Amino acid sequence: MTVYDFEKYAVPGSRAHLVGIGGVSMSPLAEVLKGMGITISGSDMNDGAAVKHLRSLGIDVKIGHRAENIDGADYIIRTAAVHDDNPEIAEARKREIPVFERTQAWGSMMRNYKNALCISGTHGKTTTTSMATHILTEAKRDPTVMIGGTLPLLNSGYRVGNGDTIVMESCEYYNSFLSFFPTVAVILNIDADHLDFFKDLDDIKKSFRTFARLVPPDGCVVANADDRNTMEALSKLERKLITFGFSEKADIRGINVVLSERGSEFDVLYKGGVYAHIRLRVPGRHNVLNALAATVAAIVLDIPAGAVERALYEFTGAGRRFEYKGKYRGAEVFDDYAHHPRELRELLAAAKSLGYKRIVCAFQPHTYTRTKALFDDFVRELKAADKVFLAEIYAAREDNEVGIYSKDLAKEIDGAVCCESFKDMENKLAEIASDGDIILTVGAGDIYRVGEALVKRKD
């Protein structure tokens, strides 16, 4: 198959057709390309808010995928969910029209920015990217932003700015972030995940090491000194490396940490003195670490401490990251995207610190391969909740070829209840909800619907 150079095609006056244009990372890409003088068309299966917005900008968007949609296109850009059997992709191959992945396009876009801040890690990417967005906005850097979730500040997961800085949530799955060109690469942590793609933990470390080496000689890698896997991956990196953490081995440290029911406070120790005093309104020690990472990135980008302090105090969380949904019979309902055992551990520890009488966890496992590979870890972490309800495994991109079910988890967790449907789960939660409970709907699938339905109940 012919390999094409995206930058040779993405020039003013060219025409790009985006397949899956309404996607969370595709719609902002369409805007950025349009701003470069490129004529944009696209297609999507759903006529949602993103499609309506793109049409308001004069972009022609067709609903449904058909071969004739690509007429006139010089090249095609597709989202990761679109495969070679898609009629538009098949037609492009037939006509020998170049087809690019969205990560190739975003990577190319980064070359147009003086500062490309790419935030990676197995856990915490969305929150840290959101925190960095708050900081860059407060510092009036007018950033372009791409986040894998919704940020209330933006009322979306992206922003197209006119400044010289782009901040991107950078995912390792399928080595996507290896198409990027970071000037500042943040690595929050490295853990065993996405084992349907990576062979093992060493393979994951290799991917992150390669990502770090994408940083140019005058750039910087920001990494978690307290995460052993990260430090092992970055040994002998031969790039400028600034580490953060709580331990004395970190270059920039979080000290005097005080955790409270609704947030935390800490000082950032930098070059022997206090660079900033951070006050957070999101709970948990893991969010202190996320904020510390965002702060170090701000230091690298020469952002004043005052802007960091103000921005992080105003940050109240990203969508589906300990997101408050409401109350039902005195129980407070929150939703969280946690779908890995380590994320569950951090979430339940944060909930435990808030002083609720009982922690009720409604969990939807995400993908069969992850549930199978990390089965014992999921069991161990879920036991930290006082009551566990399990939805069926969210298949996402998979078929159940490994023979794993939520009932297998339930057998190992005392009192755990498997639910036949979301309505069944909602009813069971309604039966037990009482004043002083925290009910957490947890998972990367569509489990959030349960919490939203629960708080709307009138009974």
pLDDT tens string 265-278:
999 999 999 999 99
What is the b/e burial string over 180-201, where b = at least 16 CB atoms within 10 angstroms of the residue's CB?
A: bbbbbbbbbbbbbbbbbebeeb
pLDDT band at 152 (very low <50, low <70, confident <90, very high): confident
Write down the pLDDT at residue 1. Answer: 53
Residues 302 and 391 in one domain: no
| Total structural domains within the chain | 3
Which residues are tagged catalytic? Answer: 125-126, 169
Per-residue pLDDT reduced to its tens digit, 215-228: 999 999 999 999 99
Q: What is the mean pLDDT of residues 442-452?
A: 95
Q: What is the mean pLDDT of residues 64-74?
A: 97
275: containing domain: 113-314
Mean pLDDT of 369-381: 97
Is the confidence at residue 314, as pLDDT, over 80?
Answer: yes
In this prediction, residue 438 carries a pLDDT of 98
pTM: 0.84
Q: Residue 98 is part of a domain; what is its CATH number?
A: 3.40.50.720
Half-sphere exposure of 330 (CA within 13 A, CB side): 10
> How large is the C-alpha radius of gyration of the chain?
22
Q: Find, among 15, 176, 19, the residue nearest to 86 by Cα.
A: 19
- Does 231 score more than 70 pLDDT? yes
Which one is predicted more confidently, 416 or 173? 416
Do 262 and 342 belong together in one domain? no
pLDDT of 2: 63
Same domain? 218 vs 147: yes
Using CA atoms, how far residue 448 sits from 9, 354, 425, 426, in Å, is: 41, 21, 12, 11
Which of 406, 333, 395, 336 has the alpha carbon at shortest distance from 368?
395
Mean pLDDT over all residues of the chain? Answer: 94
Residue 397 has pLDDT above 80, yes or no: no
For residue 285, being part of any structural domain is answered with yes
DSSP state of 93: H
Give yes or no for residue 138 having a pLDDT over 80. Answer: yes
Same domain, 396 and 377: yes
Q: Residue range 257-261: average pLDDT?
A: 89
Number of other CB atoms surrounding residue 154 within 10 Å: 16
Q: In this structure, what CATH number is given to the domain that contains residue 438?
A: 3.90.190.20
Q: Are residues 192 and 277 in the same domain?
A: yes
Co-location of 123 and 100 in the same domain: no
pLDDT band at 81 (very low <50, low <70, confident <90, very high): confident
- Output the pLDDT for position 218: 96
With a cut of 90, say whether residue 369 has pLDDT above it: yes
Please indicate, yes or no, if residue 1 is contained in any of the structural domains. no
- H or E segment at 381? helix 375-382
16 assigned to some structural domain: yes
The confidence score (pLDDT) of residue 260 equals 86
Co-location of 342 and 268 in the same domain = no
Question: Is the dihedral angle over the CA atoms 400, 403, 407, 409 positive or is it negative?
Answer: negative
What is the tens place of the pLDDT at every residue in 29-52?
998 899 889 999 999 998 888 899
Alpha-helix residue ranges (DSSP H) falling in 96-200: 102-110, 125-138
Q: Tell whether the model's pLDDT for residue 6 goes beyond 70.
A: yes
| Least confident span in 153-162, 258-267, 366-375 | 153-162
Task: Note the pLDDT of residue 386.
Answer: 98
Per-residue pLDDT band at 3 (split at 50, 70, 90): low
pLDDT for position 262: 80
Average pLDDT over residues 148-163: 84
Longest dimension (CA), the chain: 64
Provide the pLDDT confidence category of residue 131 given band limits of 50, 70 and 90. Answer: very high
Q: Is residue 70 pLDDT above 90, yes or no? A: yes
